[in-house]
Amino acid sequence: MRPIDALVNALSDARVLTDPDVIDSYARDRTFLEPGKPLAVVLATSRDDVVTTMRWATEHRVPVVPRGGGTGLAGASVAGDGSVILSLARMTAIRELSPADEIAVVEPGVITADLDKAAREHGLMYAPDPSSYEISTIGGNLATNAGGLRCVKYGVTRDSALGLEVVLADGRVLNTGRRTMKGVTGYDLTGLFVGSEGTLGVITAATVRLRRAPAAPPATFAADFSSLRDAGAAVSAIMAAGCQPSLMELLDRATLQAIDEWRNIGLEPGTQAMLIGQSDAADSQAAVERMERICTENGASFVAVSSSPQEADELIGLRRLAYGAKERQGACLVEDVCVPRSALAEMIGRIEAAAERHGVRIATVAHAGDGNLHPVFIFEHGTVEPPPEVWAAADEVFKDALELGGTLTGEHGVGLLKRRWLELESGPVAGELQRGIKAVFDPLGLLNPGKAI
């Protein structure tokens, strides 16, 4: 009997897919990367399915690639030859939602927006909101330590993860963390698994922190600048003034042009950047008006402040159009560097210089409040992978980010795409220690091999 037949018998035909065309649809993420030829897809519906799969994989020495919603942008869930894809998308239960403790216990296939919606029925919210929040899963967010638009105030996914249920490579079940807001017993294994991209274990449940939802609708502003440097100065001044925005997004001219060509937003010829900010504080309107004044003092040519929740949603909607507008213009290599906030304008300037030097189209948005930039390299539709000039420009962008005291990735993860630059940031000592940690949790190297480290 073939090894895969033993897995089919252990789980049932309904949960193991072996048709090559069906497998291929599960083997990809949102990158251009071509997958290998996996053996099968397991559609797990419970922790026991995951335990059975990992025990089988250990017995037969078969690599396993965990997968959530497939919305990743770094290649972390792209499947390799001879692997089994372990899909957690059907594990969608919100096992518990406790308003008294302000926590939820959720399975990895829960859609991020669905958890937030469930929390809001109790006057709470789930704070992390990656741009893909309507289609990405909690498991994928945990695997990459996703951030999002609200992370300037509420932090990234790790800041909301209190405890995990994890199935290890050999099928053992590990429970990490706690249900309390505080706890320092032993090493922080919860923090270790968050952001590990499925290379240390398979998350089958998470206890996450909920927060009190704002009592009133947030207020929003959008400011046009004729200079990136002025926009960057406004961001620094807003943060230094203690305004505590719940969102602070920067769009460069290339991004604004892409949106304008699609939706005709009336982009002015002299606008080089747009800053979109929001406050969800109790005095949100006053806070936004204060940010408006700071933008004007720092050279904004025009500032619009929302006067209703609908207008606030429309201004935020501009930011959420960014990626779709770029996809219309070509294939996209979506990158994710982070620099100190004070270096934000300098980094955008360097990205634009790299684009001009290599003849490449790059459109950049940034979670400006925390210095996280997403330069999107746009190239011809139908191209199998980015041409050499795109890789050359990307190489320059990553080196510039590190030179400015930044990092290769703020929230997308390393996956496959960033491994070529990993040594530049981590160095040999960190690399050796990370490989040692991997060996402790996954001595046979079966979990998502070739990713993250």
Last residue of a domain, one of 69, 87, 105: 87
Considering the domain architecture, whether residues 228 and 125 belong to the same structural domain is answered as no
Say which DSSP state 14 is in.
G
In terms of Cα–Cα distance, which of 143, 142, 107, 108 is closest to 128? Answer: 142
User: What is the spatial distance between Cα 356 and Cα 18, in angstroms, rounded to a whole number?
Assistant: 47
In a domain, 399, yes or no: yes
Last residue of a domain, one of 184, 212, 240: 212
Q: pLDDT (tens digit, 9 = 90+) per residue, 335-385?
A: 999 999 989 989 999 999 999 999 999 999 999 999 999 999 999 988 888
In a domain, 11, yes or no: yes
Considering the domain architecture, whether residues 176 and 255 belong to the same structural domain is answered as no
Which residue pairs from 416-421 have beta carbons closer than 8 angstroms and sit at least 24 positions apart in sequence? 416/31, 416/33, 416/74, 416/75, 416/76, 416/78, 416/450, 416/451, 417/31, 417/33, 417/74, 417/75, 417/333, 418/74, 419/450, 419/451, 421/395
Last residue of a domain, one of 212, 232, 247: 212
In a domain, 358, yes or no: yes
The domain in which residue 257 lies consists of 215-326
Residues of the chain below pLDDT 50:
none
In a domain, 450, yes or no: no
Considering the domain architecture, whether residues 159 and 78 belong to the same structural domain is answered as no
In a domain, 140, yes or no: yes
Considering the domain architecture, whether residues 197 and 236 belong to the same structural domain is answered as no
In a domain, 9, yes or no: yes
pLDDT value of position 2 = 83
Considering the domain architecture, whether residues 101 and 170 belong to the same structural domain is answered as yes
Number of neighbours of residue 226 by Cβ within 10 angstroms: 17
CATH number of the domain within which 260 lies:
3.30.70.2190
Radius of gyration of the chain (CA): 22
Q: pLDDT (tens digit, 9 = 90+) per residue, 175-208?
A: 999 999 888 999 999 999 999 999 999 999 999 9
Considering the domain architecture, whether residues 160 and 247 belong to the same structural domain is answered as no
Return the SS3 of 411: coil
In a domain, 448, yes or no: no
Buried b or exposed e, range 99-133, using 16+ CB within 10 angstroms: eeebbbbbbbbbbbebbbebbeebebbbbbbbbbb
Instruction: Give the tokens for residue 383.
Output: 């191209």
CATH number of the domain within which 163 lies:
3.30.465.10
CATH number of the domain within which 341 lies:
3.30.70.2740
Q: pLDDT (tens digit, 9 = 90+) per residue, 107-142?
A: 999 999 999 999 999 999 999 999 888 999 999 999
What is the pTM assigned to this prediction? 0.94
For the four alpha carbons of 200, 203, 204 and 206, in that order, the dihedral sign comes to positive
H/E run at residue 357? helix 344-358
Considering the domain architecture, whether residues 126 and 56 belong to the same structural domain is answered as no
Considering the domain architecture, whether residues 63 and 109 belong to the same structural domain is answered as no
Interior angle at CA 321, CA 319 and CA 327, nearest 5: 130
Considering the domain architecture, whether residues 302 and 344 belong to the same structural domain is answered as no
Q: What is the domain count for the chain? A: 4
pLDDT value of position 295 = 98
In a domain, 452, yes or no: no
Considering the domain architecture, whether residues 354 and 436 belong to the same structural domain is answered as yes
Considering the domain architecture, whether residues 65 and 118 belong to the same structural domain is answered as no
Mean pLDDT of the chain: 94
Considering the domain architecture, whether residues 316 and 384 belong to the same structural domain is answered as no
